Amino acid sequence: MQTLITEKRPLGWAKLSILGAVLIICFGAIAILALEVNRKIDEQAAANSDNIQWVLSQVEVEYLGLLSAIDDHEETGDVSNIRLRFDVLYSRLSTFETGTAYESLRNDIDFAARLGGISSTLNALIPTIDAPDEVLSQSLPELQSELETLGTPIRQMALIGIDFFANVSDSSRHVVWLTLMRVAALTMALVLALAILSIVLFQLYRYAQRNADEISAASARLEAMVSSTLDAVIVINEAGRVVEFNGSAESIFGYSRVEAIGAPLVDMIIPLKHRKAHLEGMKRHLRDGTYHVVGRGRVQMDALRKNGELFPCEFSIARANTKNGILFVAFLRDNSAQVAAERELLAARDEALAGEKAKADFMAVMSHEMRTPLNGMLGTIELLNDTDLTEKQQNFLKIMETSGRLLLHHVNDVLDVARLDSDKVVAERNPFDLSQMIAEIIDSQHGISATNDTAVHCNLSDLGSPIVLGDEKRLRQVIMNLLSNAIKFTRGGTVMIEAEQIGDSDVVEFRVSDTGIGIHDDDLSRIFEDFVTLDSSYAREFGGTGLGLGIAKRLVESMNGTIGAESEPGDGSLFWFRIPLPILAKSKSTELLPTSESKELEISNSMDILVVEDNQINQLVVEEMLTKDGHRVTLANDGREGVDKAAEQYFDLILMDISMPRMDGIAACVAIRNGDGPNRNSRIIALTANALPEDIERFKEAGMNDVLIKPISRSKLARTVSVTPTAPTLNAPTTAAAPEATPTPKPEAPTAVDAVDSEMLANLIEDLGPQMASNLISTFVTETDTMVEHLVETPPEDDVQMIAEIHKLAGSSSMFGTVSFSSLLRSLETIGKTQSAEKMRDKAPEMRELWDTTRAELTELVEDMMADE
């Protein structure tokens, strides 16, 4: 509204007042001049000139009167008349001499000379006049002749005077003329000013007219807007009474305009529960000028309809200061439809999400449920293959097996996708030997590559044989997928696996290239999508779900990496991916273990062993020891995974750590024993670093066959493993390892002298080989550095968590013969579990000093031993 009427004015009030002042000055000047003219005219009036001339001529008249009186004396003899006439003449002349009115005239020399002459003559005659009558009578002839000499000068004086005053009149008339001219000029100016004023006033009138037109147009527009808007517009005054209520307000709130105008708003549309707050808000606003709602944009609140119905209402309030006081303008919108729509949308989304989740769950469950019977089928096919069969039957069986394995592969793919899509699990970070892993992958693909007459090479360039920190399982699966793909599409060519560290960063790039059929550009962009199988007969030949690369992409991304492919149709393809993979140690050797070597290690009584252990170092050690003894090792990272693995495949032995995340060893053991999987009767041996007598009792109750106390040596392990492999002795757990370790470890005071058991360390190096042992020890040292710092400086707030971390560290340290350190850790764990967490926390800082000593001794010992090798 305001903006509509603020336009520039044609003439300001200042200018107008200046013009007014000019007019007043003109009027004033004219009035003054008019008075002046009036005065001048008065001066010019007949009385003035007549009077002067009268006075001048009167002298002559009186003079002649005197002479006539003297003449009359001869007849009457009256001298008193002569005296009176003389006195009158005298008084006339004396008036010229003294009167201020004749001052200018007196300044005329001729006049003054004659006046002086006449006066002196008259004065000389006074004694004669005042003499007694007789004397005067006798002197009359003398008096007469004396007086007659005055005739000429008196006449001349009168003429001079008349002439003089005629001049004065002339100049006076001129002054009047000048004044009249000025009046005329001023009158012209006044007329001009009036003309300008009337123009200005006309402009002002037109401007005001235009403004009025605009204002009425604007208010008409506003009126139209307010009445046609879909929002309710309600205007209230300071007293909270409605002064405006538009059509939409009528339809939204159900009150008619007539009902609403003048009624208090609060009783109409504010719900009961908000009324007090509303009134207080109004009061506060009017008192302090503070705003809670006014001018704060859109606010959502419940409002009341006439029929008592509450509905969600979105509104904004603006304040307007008008001549008639403060007005509040509220724009309100019935939001019930929108809120309902939002609610429906939300419900629809939730439903869709639930459906999606159900689908994913279904996929996961189905795949899982399909895998178990498939495994059964495949096992049975293998068993069937060992029976007497005709060649035809063997062929059928082969087809069945191939189909079964393909089906299993597909199911595994789907399961992977479902898991990767649903799990928010972050990639794990554990140390492992990268070169060995790649060697194993190549080895696993040996059959197909041989069939395809394709050579598989590996080049880790300057990485050597590195121990890296990452998610071994996922990385393995990615490389496996890429490699099997490459081999699949390459006949009589070469497949190359390369790995390279990018600069000094932790990022490692892996490349799998082949000299196969290649991929068209058009297809390159979609090969990482799900269920993509390139539509070529060549590709069809191999079948597949088309999930392989999709899974690889998901896996790489879950490890915070990127994946891509380049290809030249006919020349081959290159798949690459980059992932953060910190290298813990680089081996000097760039050689890979010959893939065939593993087969040489096989010995007659090799066993399938499942190692369930959450500590990666322990995993590595145990795996290495068992592998060297010719056993086939499957690893599981925790109890649950252990149970899953145990459900898939039969193991001769399960080594079960006790303290693990998600599911501990005891629960896993119970699950396996109570399940109907292939391992419900397998031997299960507990692996524990801290076995209290009552714990061992619990392990037995859970179905453990034996307990192996950490630290574990190769010989101890070998002995325990080899005990009656085929006869599970549920009720007779042996404590074969007990004599070698402390079955019931008591908290011991750390001995500074002998922090490291050098014999145990030597055994470890011997068991694992210097390469492996050196890598492991350096990993252990690095990890322990971090852990000790963490436990001393920023211990976890949760007691259970702290105990778990100490336990884990104790498990690692016991492997390396750091007896004092690990016994301190165990005593901390025991205190924490059996006494008080507070006491444990108090004692925890001791770790640092002892670890410093231990570390020094360990490093020294290792160096010595390595030198000896």
CB of 170 to another protein, least distance (A): 18
As a residue count, the chain comes to 869
CB of 121 to another protein, least distance (A): 15
Could you give the 3-state DSSP secondary structure of residue 613?
A: coil
- CA-nearest of 651, 677, 656 to 667 is 656
Q: Partners of 865 in the beta sheet? A: none
Give the residue with the Cβ less far from another protein, 60 or 638. 60
CB of 212 to another protein, least distance (A): 53
Tokens encoding 311 = 């509905």
DSSP 537-581: HHHHTT---S-HHHHHHHHHHHTT-EEEEEEETTTEEEEEEEEE-
Q: Partners of 300 in the beta sheet? A: 314
Give the residue with the Cβ less far from another protein, 57 or 316. 57
> What radius of gyration do the chain's Cα atoms show?
65
CB of 152 to another protein, least distance (A): 23
Query: How many whole angstroms separate alpha carbon 746 and alpha carbon 351?
Result: 58
Angle at 622 between CA 617 and CA 628, to 5 degrees: 125
Give the residue with the Cβ less far from another protein, 43 or 314. 43
Give the residue with the Cβ less far from another protein, 176 or 377. 176
Tokens encoding 505 = 């960063």
Query: How many whole angstroms separate alpha carbon 314 and alpha carbon 310?
Result: 13
CB of 206 to another protein, least distance (A): 49
Give the residue with the Cβ less far from another protein, 62 or 767. 62
Give the residue with the Cβ less far from another protein, 91 or 394. 91
Q: Partners of 656 in the beta sheet? A: 612, 686
Give the residue with the Cβ less far from another protein, 87 or 849. 87
Give the residue with the Cβ less far from another protein, 48 or 649. 48
**Exposure letters 544-583 (e unless 16+ CB within 10 A, then b):** bbbbbbbbbbbbbebbebebebebeeeebbbbbbbbbbeb
Q: What is the DSSP letter of 734?
A: B
In this structure, what is the dihedral angle of CA atoms 173, 175, 179, 184, given to the nearest 10 degrees?
A: 60
Give the residue with the Cβ less far from another protein, 80 or 395. 80
Distance, C-alpha 599 to centroid of its chain: 62
CB of 47 to another protein, least distance (A): 4
Give the residue with the Cβ less far from another protein, 129 or 689. 129
**Contact status, residue 559 vs residue 468, Cβ threshold 8 Å:** no
Give the residue with the Cβ less far from another protein, 39 or 210. 39
CB of 155 to another protein, least distance (A): 19
Torsion sign (Cα): 249, 255, 259, 262: negative
Query: How many whole angstroms separate alpha carbon 847 and alpha carbon 756?
Result: 15
Give the residue with the Cβ less far from another protein, 2 or 171. 171
Phi, psi of 580 (to 5 degrees): -70, 125
- Residues forming contacts to another protein in the complex (CB under 8 A) are 42-43, 45, 47-48, 51, 58, 62, 65, 78, 80-81, 83-84, 87-88, 90-91, 94-95, 98-101, 130
In this structure, what is the dihedral angle of CA atoms 683, 689, 694, 696, given to the nearest 10 degrees?
A: 10
CB of 126 to another protein, least distance (A): 9
Query: How many whole angstroms separate alpha carbon 303 and alpha carbon 271?
Result: 6
CB of 99 to another protein, least distance (A): 4
CB of 76 to another protein, least distance (A): 11
* Sheet (strand 455-459) strand order: 455-459, 494-501, 507-514, 572-580, 562-568
Tokens encoding 568 = 């030249």
Neighbours of 386 (CB within 10 A): 7
**Contact status, residue 772 vs residue 576, Cβ threshold 8 Å:** no
Query: How many whole angstroms separate alpha carbon 820 and alpha carbon 755?
Result: 5
Tokens encoding 222 = 């506003």
Q: Partners of 642 in the beta sheet? A: none
Helix, strand, coil: what percent of the chain each, to 5? Answer: 60, 15, 25
CB of 163 to another protein, least distance (A): 21
Give the residue with the Cβ less far from another protein, 84 or 837. 84
Looking at this protein, which amino acid is placed at residue 652? D
**Contact status, residue 480 vs residue 497, Cβ threshold 8 Å:** no
Neighbours of 124 (CB within 10 A): 10
CB of 98 to another protein, least distance (A): 5
CB of 84 to another protein, least distance (A): 6
The helix (H) or strand (E) run that includes residue 658 is none
Give the residue with the Cβ less far from another protein, 36 or 259. 36
Looking at this protein, which amino acid is placed at residue 790? H
CB of 94 to another protein, least distance (A): 7
Give the residue with the Cβ less far from another protein, 16 or 41. 41
Give the residue with the Cβ less far from another protein, 124 or 326. 124
Give the residue with the Cβ less far from another protein, 84 or 792. 84
State the distance between the two ends of the chain, measured CA to CA, in whole angstroms.
97
CB of 150 to another protein, least distance (A): 16
Query: How many whole angstroms separate alpha carbon 599 and alpha carbon 606?
Result: 11
CB of 103 to another protein, least distance (A): 9
DSSP 488-540: HT-SSSEEEEEEEE-TTSSEEEEEEEE-SS---HHHHTTTTSTT-----HHHH
